[in-house]
Amino acid sequence: MHYWSVEGAEDILGKKVRVDHLDSRTLERGHTKTFACWVWTSDVTNIPTKHTLAVLPRGAGRVEEI
């Protein structure tokens, strides 16, 4: 899944948070160290403050024909 999207943000943030939209700074991708989005939730403690992603090298998991 491409995580630089509303669907990706919802997947990372979990089921108790609804992503309204990505912030314009995130859409521009000029500064990729932060990811900003607008969310709705019934309790602010439902919003995770950290998430770890593992970035695999290009082609990882690809199976070549034997």
Print pLDDT tens along the chain (66 aa).
577 889 988 998 999 999 999 888 777 777 677 788 899 999 999 998 887 877 778 877 777 776
Phi and psi at residue 7, to the nearest 5°: -65, -40
If phi > 0 it is left, if psi is from -120 to 50 it is alpha, else beta; for residue 27 that is alpha
40's tokens: 């709705």
Model pLDDT, residue 30: 73
Model pLDDT, residue 27: 76
